[in-house]
Amino acid sequence: MAKGLDAEFLAQLKSKTDIVEVIGSYVTLERKGSNYWACCPFHHEKTPSFSVNSLDQYYHCFGCGASGDVITFIREIESVDFVDAVKILAERAKISMPDVNFDSEKTLEQKRKRDQVLKILNECAHFYLKNLNSGKADAHIQYILDRKLSSSTVRKFGLGASLDFRSLPEFLLDKGYRRDDILDSGAVTETDKKKLIDSQGGRLIFPIINAFDDVVAFGGRVLEKTDFAKYKNTKETIVFNKSKNLYNINLVKKQKKAEGLKNIVMVEGYMDTISLWQAGFHNVVASMGTSLTKEQARLSKRYADDVLISYDGDFAGQKGAIRGLEIMKEEGVNVRVVPLPEGLDPDDVVKKYGMEGYQRCLDSAMPLVDFKLNVLEHGCDLSRTEEKRDYIREALKIIREEPSESVREDLLKTVRDKTGVTFESLRRDLDNAPARPVVQQEIKEPVRNEDGADRNSKACRFILASALFNAKYARNFDLAGVKFDNNVHNIIAEYIIGRRNRGENVRASDLFEIFDENTPELSAILDLSLGEGFDGSDAEKYFRDCVRTLERQKIEDELRHLSEVCDAETELDKKKQLSRRIMELTVKLKNF
């Protein structure tokens, strides 16, 4: 449990929060029996193994082992810390947050630093906005006019202007902010001579706002030819990691709440996003570069399962984006690629052909496999025999990745039409073509009963799971008489015994206030709750066998210890006493 948050408040929050309702707002849940099921939002899978227990208010994935209570879920799905997860749930439940009394200096300093950085970045955004309207930002205003952005669009995205390198740090220092906090915000950098300068000096400013409406960084564009990069982002900070953010996700989140989202359009940069939004496409985000990441894929999937990738029409440039698109697919996103006229980006298309023209591009979005073939074709001269053969060989590798037989047949016909090679020949070569190596998913391996645990560990797990999930044959079983060697097992046993002694119900979700959600032994015990594992005579017989296994182990451990003591004992009477006890245990073990 997080330090500084009152246990009574957390209990009240959980009692007013239904985990099924919360998780159901992120993934589609289907009720089966007493539990709800979905494909896990934390790893890619085709068959649902993510279970939500409505009675005990916890979730557990039988595929990757992810588990926790409603706070854990929000913390993981929104990539926030414990306190922020509680804030989100409190706001959802319309409960006021109590004052948080942190008793850790390190925790207090981290919170102070984060709060100050966000406050500084918010001040910067207003500073830049004031600059844009100051009458001194002629070059910035002219650029906005050239891009045909309306004043309402400029306000919607909070565009601003940096006029020089000095005024921002001076403004922040005059406001009383500490030098180290200003530097940690990333908005300001330090020269070799220890002078503070605006990181985006002289640029048009695009505030980067996260899903919680916090300004976390800035993008800046130069307004004249220079040796510097055309676009520049704030460096990574305590509140900003480019790979975990999407530009305009804040407005997309509002759009989803207001009207829902059929899909998300992902573009490369700020201007494409703003131009499309102004044209009426309010489901647009930008990856702020072409290298898509797993985190960005997961973030987009929270808002829509279908993502349309709309990068520029230069196929040579798009070739480098294929790996990013594969990442989207690996994360369970239904990804399609929007073909654009050669050499044009989304902003160009909207300006040249209008909203209807860009919509036609969206309507013709192609599956990833078709896009790969398109990119491959544009990289080859099919009139040259050698390049045509290379194209066929690589095309067959791509087609073989497609699981649908009918789609493969259709794709083979496309290759046939482009190369003149017969369909039958292509089909034979396809069957013999080597498949591309599968990129392994970087997911946590599940901890299951087949994880190499010895017989005693498995017995401990089943006994505890039976008691935890209230199996009939385990209700009156005395856990205090069982010797658990594993510390996690002992703590779970103590929790169950304590709740029973107080006449309180045992709830698996309580364990997430004791253990970290990634505790392997806890995951292994929760794995046993799948199906009807605790029902019927077979389960009861297995429970008795587990108890006997541990009782036998207890005897064997005592025998081993007594034998060692007896061997070392020098007094004859004590040695005789030990020998008699050893004999009793040996007979007991033999008759066990």
Task: Report the distance separating Cα 58 and Cα 54, nearest Å.
Answer: 7
User: Measured between alpha carbons, how far is 159 from 153 in angstroms, rounded to an integer?
Assistant: 9
Bridge partner list, 284: 265
Above 90 in pLDDT, residue 295? Answer: no
d(CA 512, CA 524) in angstroms, rounded, equals: 14
Superfamily of domain 7-93 in CATH is Zinc finger, CHC2-typedomain (3.90.580.10)
Predicted confidence at residue 445, as pLDDT, reads 34
DSSP string, 351-403: HHHHHHHHHHHHHT-EEHHHHHHHHHHHT--TTSHHHHHHHHHHHHHHHHT--
Instruction: Reply yes or no on whether the pLDDT at 165 is more than 70.
Output: yes
What does the DSSP 8-state code read for residue 473? G
Residue whose C-alpha is closest to residue 501's, from 526, 478, 473: 478
Comparing 187 with 513, the larger pLDDT belongs to 187
Digit-coded pLDDT (tens) for 40-68 = 888 877 788 899 988 788 999 988 888 88
Residue with more model confidence, 432 or 193: 193
- pLDDT of 111 reads 73
Is the predicted pLDDT of residue 134 greater than 60, yes or no? yes
Average pLDDT of the residues in 320-348 = 80
For residue 317, pLDDT over 80 is answered with no
Residue with tokens 């069957």: 431
**pLDDT category, 314, cuts 50, 70, 90?**
low
Residue ranges of domains in the chain: 7-93, 111-368, 380-432, 455-590
Domain 111-368 -> CATH class: alpha beta
Instruction: State pLDDT tens for residues 232-261.
Output: 999 999 889 888 899 999 999 888 878 888
Q: Which of these, 193, 192, 194, lies nearest to 182 by C-alpha position? A: 194
55 CB-near residues (< 8 Å, 6+ apart): 34
Residue 393 has a pLDDT of: 86
pLDDT in tens, 550-565: 888 888 877 888 788 7
Element (H, E) at 307: strand 306-309
| 3-class DSSP state of 306 | strand
Mean pLDDT of the residues in the chain: 84
Nearest in space to 222 (alpha carbons), one of 128, 140, 125 = 140
77 close to 26: Cβ distance less than 8 angstroms: yes
Most confident of 11-20, 243-252, 339-348, 379-388: 243-252
Strands 306-309 and 188-190: unpaired
**Comparison of pLDDT for 575 and 66, the residue scoring more:** 66
Q: Cβ of 552: how many Cβ atoms within 10 Å? A: 16
Confidence band for 576, pLDDT divided at 50, 70 and 90: confident
Question: What percent of the chain is modeled with pLDDT above 90?
Answer: 31
Residue 33 vs residue 72, higher pLDDT = 72
Using DSSP, state whether 266 is helix, strand or coil: strand
Q: Phi-psi region for residue 328, left (φ > 0), alpha (ψ -120 to 50) or beta? A: alpha
Contact 56/5 with Cβ under 8 angstroms?
no
